[in-house]
Amino acid sequence: MEEKLSVNSYEVLKRRYLLKDDSQNVVETPDELFRRVAHHVAKAESNFKIREGCGRGIEDGFYNAMSSLEFMPNSPTLMNAGTSIGQLSACFVLPVKDSIDDIFKALRDMAKIHQSGGGTGFSFSNLRPKDDLVMATKGAASGPVSFMSIFDKATGVIVQGGRRRGANMAVLRCDHPDIVEFIEAKTREGEFSNFNLSVGITDKFMQALLKDKEFDLINPRTGKVSRKISARAIFNLIAGAAWQAGDPGLIFLDEVNRENPTPAIGRIEATNPCGELPLLPYESCNLGSINLARMVDGNAVNWDKLKYHIKLGVRFLDDVIEINKFPLPEIKEITFANRKIGLGVMGFADMLVKLGVAYNSKKAVNFAGRLMGFIHRESIRASAELAGERGVFPNYKKSVYAKNGPKLRNATVNTIAPTGTISIIAGCSSGIEPIFAVSFVRNVLSGTKLFEVNPAFEEMARGRGVYNKTLLNKIASRGSLKGMKEIPKSIKDAFVTAFDVSAEQHLLIQSAFQRHTDNSVSKTINLPSDATAED
């Protein structure tokens, strides 16, 4: 049965997801969208032996999970399933090699992926540094940052089917000779607005930083040391740029590769745009998120219901790989070989409210670990069951599981994504974030403004007789319930917003989820507006 959608959910669906005719008129209802996606993804079941009569039952299971807003796949699946585009994955990493042909092949590949609704990550670490020798012309190279600007401008031109702008992640290793230019790339206003930036940090760099020593910058073309630089100076530059422009972030390359499930296939050098998916060159991954707000009965977690949705979500995402129309043959080859999926969650903050647990409490951290531990165990179990039906992923023998691990269908199973627009559709808090604000105005594509009120707050405030429009406007202008005498203390304690949570607590929650997540966790760490570069 289709759940009643909020005005904002319908507005987002209408603008971005529901099918339109040539005159841009909407020709699909939300219910038809969920049926279109369920029907298309369930077609994958015919590739495998399934019990007699289960085919339609699986399609109905997919449909019911989406229409009840209990599970939602990533945006490209909602947009493209059952259409001529047919590209259903959210995240891609493309290699950028050190030649003009390879650089512009990566640019073309990016354009194709963006056009179909996906986001891309790149490591530019293999490109020779600025002013290095170009053998063919005996001229000087322009360096990775200048090439990044071409990717940035191309992204700005391609709007994904008129629905959303493409997004990118750029990674440059900390030992690349152009690292200072990369760190400062976004401190110039308006530069690289279609990129998130991450410095690729190594163990060697961290050891030099802790001992306050210099470390080597290495020319990737020659493999030779070009100069030495203070690790502390680089780290201070990173902190200063992040304070000024919000970028760069850090990706700990050696740690990521210690957790790489298929090290024999290659090293991971980059992630998708929001950092939750470290991927090998040409790998893609499709995501789906369970709405935790709907996994609570009364004031307790319904573990059986959650388990059902984990099993269904793993099957759905494996089917997506099977039915997907890949933008490039290289992507299809490695995606089929590793079959990575990313089942995650949204509505965590709403779940805490329903359970009477404050987000900024030790109890919330302990619960986060218990919850994600359960999700990971059940995801592994579901993938192992699928392997029994369909076989292990083809690179299994080259994976870390080959010796004593479980026989799995998927090289990875869990990811915590930001769930931006799909959490609006589902009417819940995004990812594992605290409630952004109890009441606020949200800006979406094409300048539309949506007034939002947290549904759990609305229900509680109405029950306590304190709900009115004047109060909502006051809350929207403040963003927090702190210091509002009109609001009972019990409501204030329950509705902790992002800016009421310390940076340390944000990190503890992220860490509790990451401990049980085999991909990565996308999480915003809010700092007060008066935070310094030193902070």
| Catalytic (active-site) positions | 272, 274, 276
Residue 149: Cβ within 10 Å count: 14
As given in the structure block, the two tokens for residue 228 are: 């030495």
- CA distances (Å), origin 39, targets 10, 32, 57, 522: 21, 10, 11, 30
User: Mind spelling out the 3-state secondary structure of 404-465?
Assistant: CCCCCCCCCCECECCCHHHHHHHCCCCCCCCECCCEEEEECHHHCEEEEECHHHHHHHHHCC
In sequence order, what are the beta bridge partners of 201?
252
Q: How many helices (H) and strands (E) does the chain have?
A: 19, 20
In sequence order, what are the beta bridge partners of 355?
none
Residue whose structure tokens are 């965590």:
348
Given a contact cutoff of 8 angstroms between Cβ atoms, the answer to whether 67 and 55 are in contact is no
User: Which amino acid would we find at residue 457?
Assistant: F
Task: Give me the helices (H) in 74-223, please.
Answer: 75-80, 100-115, 144-157, 179-183, 203-210
Nearest to 393 by CA among 262, 280, 256, 269: 262
In sequence order, what are the beta bridge partners of 503?
none
Residue 56: Cβ within 10 Å count: 11
H helix or E strand, kind and range, residue 252: strand 249-252
From CA 39, how far away is CA 523, in angstroms rounded?
A: 33
From CA 300, how far away is CA 176, in angstroms rounded?
A: 51
CA dihedral 352, 357, 360, 361 (to 10 degrees): -140
Nearest to 289 by CA among 341, 240, 213: 341
Given a contact cutoff of 8 angstroms between Cβ atoms, the answer to whether 283 and 89 are in contact is no
Nearest to 454 by CA among 353, 346, 306: 353
From CA 394, how far away is CA 118, in angstroms rounded?
A: 24
From CA 434, how far away is CA 509, in angstroms rounded?
A: 10
Instruction: Count CA atoms within 13 Å of residue 61 on its CB side.
Output: 18
